[in-house]
């Protein structure tokens, strides 16, 4: 049964109408063919509108004329599917979208026929259903009652206001008839809108009463026998309590339909192979969103359950991202559902492309998507992926009708198991994080916890301030002396960046340098640093202080900036000498794109520029690479100096670095020297230079100059 194609249940013999046909033409066609809608097509037979009994009721309620053109009153929001769609998929889609008719089209989207809700009812085979559901599960109790004095216009008005398909006519509190959209539509053809006329047309129809305790199975049987689409529901004393229609039955049954089919298939001892095939297909329908082919909410929930257990057991952190397209409803409203669907498909494939193969992307419904990032290393990784997602979504969607649409999204993030330890919590917290993101301006993400939200937001805030730092004159270089061990004299200094922001005050390099790195801002900032250091160096040379200035260069600059060019220009502009400039890079910079870095460093060396390896000992030091790079200074990382003279291992490492440096012909500098004991140890072991608070903290240029004056250069 689940293999039945849409084409086999559609009405194909009914001629569609054109925009220039009138409402009356539509009503006549509906009456002649006993159908509840007519389709309007263009000259190429492509469906462009639908006119239903419900639309007819609106026209009557508004007292509009039957001579109106269909183009003025039809609904342009048409829902069409290809003829080879399965009826179960088709029904599920129709129900999700709230339509009552499906236009069936061929592979070129040309009109073939139409399928209404009633057609599904006849073909979905629910007469086989167990008789467990009763009227109570399906019935509508908000019924519309009218009496014989009511005019049809009034009935139509009340029906369309209350969104009822039927009105029950009562006399002395007893139901005496049921009038439906179809009856009113038929009456309106010849313009006689009295209820009496309607009653006379309906004469042939019997009003059927049914007891509230009846099973749905019997209800559908009764409808079939009496040829009606609705039954009036009464209690044991025959008092009116409601109405049950085909639509209600269908809706109720459908939710249990997949369960039922699975059970039926299992119980039947059919051939093993077909059984498995059916099960798979059903499972797919039940777990898969038919528009995007992504897993649906049901499947996603099940995966979340597994995720929670697994994350707790393996002590790993995963992130659940809840994503919602901003103002998607507006797009749907202004461009129609088929454009909306096209956008959803584009977005879903972008999402799938961005995440890792093992990560799960699901469509929860409407414009809501969810993503599981399993076993993430850090918050930063999550932020990075999330930013990529926001960026990917914000790119223009090129639609088949030639329009470019821009859409943004908001994302709520929950960490499992840190924030949430069960499925309900995940949904709840992700929702509130999503809400936060939306209320913070849309197009952004928000972590669930306050603290995380704050930090992530702070990063964004820093970033936007950092973008202005140079133009706002907020950057300054401080200088920290580097002292030659043997003479105790300052021979060089390290330029260290300081940022005083008008909003945040002083922000330390540990915070803003990584942000500048992440965002690529480091390139312009780094260029500023090199220029500033050279300018200052020249000022000091002119005053007779011939010292070397070391500038820090970040991995990002090494990789993406033309450093030799930037430095040459800075030297040229300032008139500072290349041999007095030292570039500090970390081991990690050397490890990436090694060949290119070797070449670049040699070209710096060729200009006479010195090279220092910063934070030495914390990266992947290997003798072989030390030999390949034109290094002048090894700067032993502060962490090894800190515990001199107490930590034997650290002391052994320091000694080894000094020995190795000497053997390879490098100078060795000890970073972060604070105490006399450290200094004594370093001197004794033959370390050439030191830098640290024992001599001075980093100072603004003017104050640093005083140290130079005192030293009597």
Q: Are strands 475-484 and 689-690 parallel, antiparallel or unpaired?
A: antiparallel
Nearer to Mg ion, 289 or 584 (CB): 584
Nearer to Mg ion, 282 or 613 (CB): 613
Nearer to ligand C2E, 83 or 615 (CB): 615
Contact set with ligand C2E (CB under 6 A): 480, 496-497, 508-510, 513, 526, 529, 552-554, 614-615, 638, 671-674, 691-693, 698
Residues 134, 215: contact at Cβ < 8 Å?
A: yes
Q: Is 359 an interacting residue with respect to Mg ion (CB under 5 A)?
A: no
Nearer to ligand C2E, 179 or 496 (CB): 496
Q: Which does 698 bind (CB under 5 to 8 A by kind): Mg ion, ligand C2E, none?
A: ligand C2E
Site map (CB under 5 A) of Mg ion, residues 126-165, x = contact: ----------------------------------------
**C-beta of 359: minimal distance to ligand C2E in Å?**
33
Nearer to ligand C2E, 366 or 509 (CB): 509
Q: Which of 560, 553, 542 is nearest to 494 (CA)?
A: 553
Site map (CB under 5 A) of Mg ion, residues 517-556, x = contact: -----------------------------------x----
H or E segment and range at residue 362 = strand 360-365
H or E segment and range at residue 494 = strand 489-501
Indicate the burial class of 658 (C-beta count within 10 angstroms; 0-12, 13-18, 19 or more).
Answer: buried
**C-beta of 663: minimal distance to ligand C2E in Å?**
24
Q: Which of 672, 600, 598 is nearest to 635 (CA)?
A: 672
**C-beta of 633: minimal distance to ligand C2E in Å?**
12
**C-beta of 372: minimal distance to Mg ion in Å?**
39
Nearer to ligand C2E, 140 or 470 (CB): 470
Q: What share of the chain is helix, strand, coil (3-state, %, to 5)?
A: 50, 20, 30
Q: Is 332 an interacting residue with respect to Mg ion (CB under 5 A)?
A: no
Report how far residue 670's alpha carbon sits from residue 676's, in angstroms, rounded to the nearest whole number. 13
Alpha helices in 98-213 (DSSP H): 117-123, 135-138, 152-162, 181-187, 195-202
Nearer to Mg ion, 57 or 585 (CB): 585
Nearer to ligand C2E, 165 or 671 (CB): 671
Report how far residue 424's alpha carbon sits from residue 591's, in angstroms, rounded to the nearest whole number. 45
Q: Is 587 an interacting residue with respect to Mg ion (CB under 5 A)?
A: no
Q: Is 614 an interacting residue with respect to Mg ion (CB under 5 A)?
A: yes
Q: No. of H helices and E strands in the chain?
A: 29, 28
Residue of 518, 615, 642, 667 that binds Mg ion (CB under 5 A): 615
Q: Which does 467 bind (CB under 5 to 8 A by kind): Mg ion, ligand C2E, none?
A: none
**C-beta of 661: minimal distance to ligand C2E in Å?**
17
**C-beta of 698: minimal distance to ligand C2E in Å?**
5
**C-beta of 555: minimal distance to ligand C2E in Å?**
9
Measuring CA to CA, how many Å separate 423 from each of 28, 84, 298? 54, 37, 12
**C-beta of 495: minimal distance to Mg ion in Å?**
9
> 3-state DSSP call for residue 625?
helix
Q: Which stretch binds Mg ion (CB under 5 A): 121-129, 271-279, 412-420, 610-618?
A: 610-618
With CB under 5 A as the rule, give the number of residues binding Mg ion. Answer: 5
CB under 8 Å to 369, separation ≥6 — which residues? 294, 322, 323, 324, 347, 348, 351, 361, 362, 363
What distance separates the 2 farthest-apart alpha carbons in the chain?
119
Report how far residue 661's alpha carbon sits from residue 617's, in angstroms, rounded to the nearest whole number. 12
Residues 391, 411: contact at Cβ < 8 Å?
A: no
Going edge to edge, which strands form the sheet with 101-105?
80-82, 101-105, 111-116
**C-beta of 380: minimal distance to ligand C2E in Å?**
17
Q: Is 584 an interacting residue with respect to Mg ion (CB under 5 A)?
A: yes
Q: Which does 674 bind (CB under 5 to 8 A by kind): Mg ion, ligand C2E, none?
A: ligand C2E
Q: Which residues bind Mg ion (CB under 5 A)?
A: 552, 584, 614-615, 671
């Amino acid at each position: 049964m689940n293999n039945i194609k849409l084409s086999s249940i559609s009405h194909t013999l009914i001629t569609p109408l054109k925009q220039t046909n009138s409402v009356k033409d539509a009503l006549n066609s509906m009456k002649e063919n006993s159908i509840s809608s007519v389709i309007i097509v263009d000259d190429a037979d492509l469906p462009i509108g639908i006119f239903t009994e419900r639309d007819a009721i609106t026209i009557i309620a508004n007292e509009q004329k039957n001579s109106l053109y269909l183009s003025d009153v039809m609904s342009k929001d048409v829902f069409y599917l290809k003829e080879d769609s399965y009826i179960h998929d088709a029904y599920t889609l129709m129900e999700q979208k709230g339509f009552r008719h499906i236009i069936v089209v061929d592979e070129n989207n040309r009109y073939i026929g139409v399928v209404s809700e009633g057609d599904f009812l006849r073909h979905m085979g629910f007469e086989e259903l167990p008789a467990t559901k009763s009227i109570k599960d399906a019935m509508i109790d908000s019924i519309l009652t009218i009496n014989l004095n009511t005019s049809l216009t009034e009935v139509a008005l009340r029906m369309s206001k209350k969104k009822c398909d039927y009105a029950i006519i009562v006399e002395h509190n007893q139901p005496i008839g049921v009038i439906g959209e179809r009856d009113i539509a038929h009456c309106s053809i010849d313009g006689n809108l009295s209820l009496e006329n309607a009653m006379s047309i309906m004469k042939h129809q019997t009003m059927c009463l049914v007891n509230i305790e009846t099973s749905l199975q019997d209800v559908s049987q009764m409808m079939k026998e009496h040829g009606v689409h609705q039954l009036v529901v009464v209690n044991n004393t025959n008092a009116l309590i409601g109405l049950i229609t085909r639509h209600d039955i269908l809706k109720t049954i459908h939710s249990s339909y997949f369960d039922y089919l699975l059970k039926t298939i299992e119980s039947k001892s059919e051939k093993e192979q077909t059984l498995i095939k059916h099960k798979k297909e059903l499972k797919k329908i039940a777990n898969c969103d038919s528009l995007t082919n992504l897993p649906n909410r049901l499947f996603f929930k099940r995966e979340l359950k597994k995720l929670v257990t697994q994350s707790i057991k393996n002590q790993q952190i995963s992130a659940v991202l809840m994503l919602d397209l901003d103002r998607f409803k507006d797009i749907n409203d202004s461009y129609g559902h088929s454009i909306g669907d096209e956008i959803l498909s584009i977005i879903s494939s972008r999402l799938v492309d961005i995440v890792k193969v093992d990560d799960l992307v699901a469509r929860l419904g409407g414009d809501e998507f969810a993503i599981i990032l399993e076993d993430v290393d850090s918050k930063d990784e999550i932020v990075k992926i999330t930013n990529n997602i926001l960026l990917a979504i914000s790119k223009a969607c090129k639609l088949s009708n030639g329009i470019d649409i821009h859409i943004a999204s908001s994302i709520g993030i929950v960490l499992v198991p840190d924030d949430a330890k069960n499925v309900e919590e995940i949904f709840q917290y992700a929702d509130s994080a999503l809400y936060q993101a939306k209320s913070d301006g849309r197009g952004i993400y928000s972590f669930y916890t306050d603290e995380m939200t704050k930090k992530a937001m702070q990063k964004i805030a820093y970033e936007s301030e950092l973008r202005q730092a140079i133009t706002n004159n907020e950057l300054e270089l401080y200088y920290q002396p580097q002292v030659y061990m043997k003479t105790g004299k300052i021979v060089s200094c390290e330029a260290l960046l300081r940022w005083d922001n008008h909003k945040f005050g002083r922000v330390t390099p540990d915070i803003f340098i990584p942000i500048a790195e992440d965002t690529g801002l480091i390139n312009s900032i780094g260029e500023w640093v090199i220029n500033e250091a050279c300018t200052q160096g020249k000022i000091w040379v002119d005053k007779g202080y011939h010292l070397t200035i070391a500038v820090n260069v970040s991995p990002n600059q090494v990789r993406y900036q033309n450093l030799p060019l930037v430095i040459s220009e800075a030297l040229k502009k300032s008139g500072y000498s290349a041999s007095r400039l030292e570039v500090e890079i970390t081991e990690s910079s050397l490890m990436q794109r090694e060949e290119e870095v070797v070449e670049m460093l040699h070209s710096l060396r060729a200009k006479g520029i010195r090279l220092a390896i910063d934070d030495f000992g914390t990266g992947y030091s290997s003798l072989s690479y030390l030999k390949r790079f034109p290094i002048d200074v090894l700067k032993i990382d502060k962490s090894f100096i800190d515990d001199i003279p107490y930590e034997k291992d650290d002391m052994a490492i320091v000694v080894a670095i000094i020995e190795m440096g000497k053997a390879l012909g490098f100078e060795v500098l000890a970073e972060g020297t604070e105490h006399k004991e450290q200094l004594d140890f370093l001197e004794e072991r033959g370390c050439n230079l030191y830098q640290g608070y024992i001599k001075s903290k980093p100072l603004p240029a003017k104050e640093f100059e005083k140290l130079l004056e005192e030293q009597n250069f």
